């Protein structure tokens, strides 16, 4: 009996020690980063019909500000910006795809809001694009202000903050609203061209992409000057994986710092011996600031070399659409893009 009791106590002690070891093991790495390394690819949820931001061409290639950001994460984790598996998401399934683990990260036109973090188990890592909700109207209407849209038919996508903002604005201004709820951007284009909708409302970034997608007919429409909301758009990850959250946040910071320091994909090698301590820490020539995030010390150099700094990504994707950087300029140029130091 005594022997059995001692054996039982020993077993319990072993289980206790095992339990004590579990938290240390869980904290030693990132489940998401380990999964990315295991499959040798980042799974990125994004849109497919937002020229300049996230668009899929007829060759099956994605391009845009949001998709290049996913490539930057792949460069940081895997050393290869090409190792991204893109998954096209919609406004209705994008958050559930992230919650369920179908994707590692959501990089799309997703507004940072309190309920999405507090209620859905998600975290926004930063603001990749500062936007605001506007309205596109046909020039034939002769409308110059949102306040002139009383009783108008307005195209809007379901399951978005845009839909809620639209209803709030019309209600607050005692205006009559006739919402035309359509999810597909292509169907909205058809509705606008056919005159089923007097206006289309969404963030100005999407409006610019939408107008560009109309081709020559884009000249028949204009974006009204007012905005009815703040739309901070940024990458989203699941709660509970702090290291991956850190990595995604600092990927954006690295791209912003590189622009601030004047480091581009073209002149990176010239800066590898840059005497500035801030630059040395960013590029990994002084200290290993990737170790605590589970990535190599040259993580930021890989991002800049293969994808570029924030300005390069903007100029490659967004600038050709004629959309000014405005609030998305660096803070040194009067904008809101501001990155903390690496030190």
In a shared domain, residues 39 and 93: yes
**Which of 191, 211, 229 is a domain's end point?**
229
For 62, the domain range is 32-130+233-329
pLDDT of residue 160: 85
In a shared domain, residues 117 and 238: yes
Positions in the chain short of pLDDT 50:
1-28
pLDDT of residue 4: 41
Instruction: Please tell me the distance from the alpha carbon of residue 115 to that of residue 122, in angstroms, as a whole number.
Output: 9
In a shared domain, residues 137 and 81: no
136: helix, strand or coil: strand
Instruction: Please tell me the distance from the alpha carbon of residue 64 to that of residue 282, in angstroms, as a whole number.
Output: 25
Look up tokens 């600031």; give the residue. Answer: 289
- Count of structural domains within the chain: 2
The CATH number covering residue 225 comes to 3.40.190.10
**Which of 187, 214, 229 is a domain's end point?**
229
Length of the chain: 343
In a shared domain, residues 123 and 256: yes
Q: Phi and psi for 192 in degrees, rounded to 5?
A: -70, -45
**Which of 189, 210, 229 is a domain's end point?**
229
Contact 144, 224 (CB under 8 A): yes
- Residue 337 inside a domain? The answer is no
In a shared domain, residues 258 and 224: no
pLDDT of residue 6: 39
Q: Which helix (H) or strand (E) holds 17?
A: helix 2-27
pLDDT of residue 10: 40
In a shared domain, residues 174 and 218: yes
- Residue 1 inside a domain? The answer is no
Instruction: Please tell me the distance from the alpha carbon of residue 257 to that of residue 263, in angstroms, as a whole number.
Output: 8
Burial class (CB within 10 angstroms; exposed 0-12, middle 13-18, buried 19+) of 263: buried
| pTM assigned to the model | 0.83
pLDDT of residue 8: 39
- Spell 45-60 as b/e; 16+ CB within 10 A means b: bbbbbbbbbbbbeeee
């Amino acid at each position: 009996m005594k022997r059995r009791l001692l054996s039982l106590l020993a077993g319990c002690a072993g289980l206790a020690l095992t339990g004590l070891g579990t938290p240390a093991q869980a904290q030693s790495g990132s489940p998401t980063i380990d999964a990315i390394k295991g499959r040798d690819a980042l799974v990125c949820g994004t849109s497919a019909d937002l020229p300049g931001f996230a668009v899929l061409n007829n060759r099956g290639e994605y391009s845009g500000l949001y998709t290049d950001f996913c490539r930057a994460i792949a460069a940081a984790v895997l050393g290869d910006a090409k190792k991204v598996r893109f998954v096209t998401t919609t406004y209705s399934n994008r958050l559930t795809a992230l919650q369920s683990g179908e994707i590692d990260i959501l990089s799309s036109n997703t507004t940072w809001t309190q309920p999405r973090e507090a209620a859905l188990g998600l975290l926004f890592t930063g603001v990749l694009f500062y936007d605001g909700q506007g309205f596109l109207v046909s020039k034939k209407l002769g409308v110059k202000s949102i306040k002139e849209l009383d009783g108008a038919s307005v195209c809007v996508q379901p399951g978005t903050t845009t839909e809620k903002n639209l209803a709030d604005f019309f209600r607050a201004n005692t205006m009559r609203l006739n919402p035309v709820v359509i999810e597909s951007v292509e169907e909205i284009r058809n509705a606008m061209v056919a005159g089923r909708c007097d206006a289309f409302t969404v963030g100005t970034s999407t409006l610019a992409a939408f107008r560009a997608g109309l081709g020559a007919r884009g000249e028949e429409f204009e974006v009204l000057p007012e905005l009815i909301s703040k739309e901070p758009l940024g990458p989203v990850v699941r709660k509970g994986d702090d290291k991956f959250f850190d990595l995604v946040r600092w990927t954006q910071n690295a791209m912003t710092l590189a622009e601030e320091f004047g480091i581009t994909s073209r002149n990176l090698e010239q800066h590898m011996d840059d005497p500035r301590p801030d630059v040395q820490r960013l590029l990994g020539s002084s200290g290993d600031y990737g170790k605590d995030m589970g990535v190599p010390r040259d993580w930021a150099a890989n991002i800049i070399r293969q994808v570029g700094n924030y300005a390069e990504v903007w100029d490659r994707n967004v600038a050709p659409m004629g959309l000014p950087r405005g609030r998305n300029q660096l803070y040194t140029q009067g904008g809101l893009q501001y990155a903390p130091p690496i030190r």
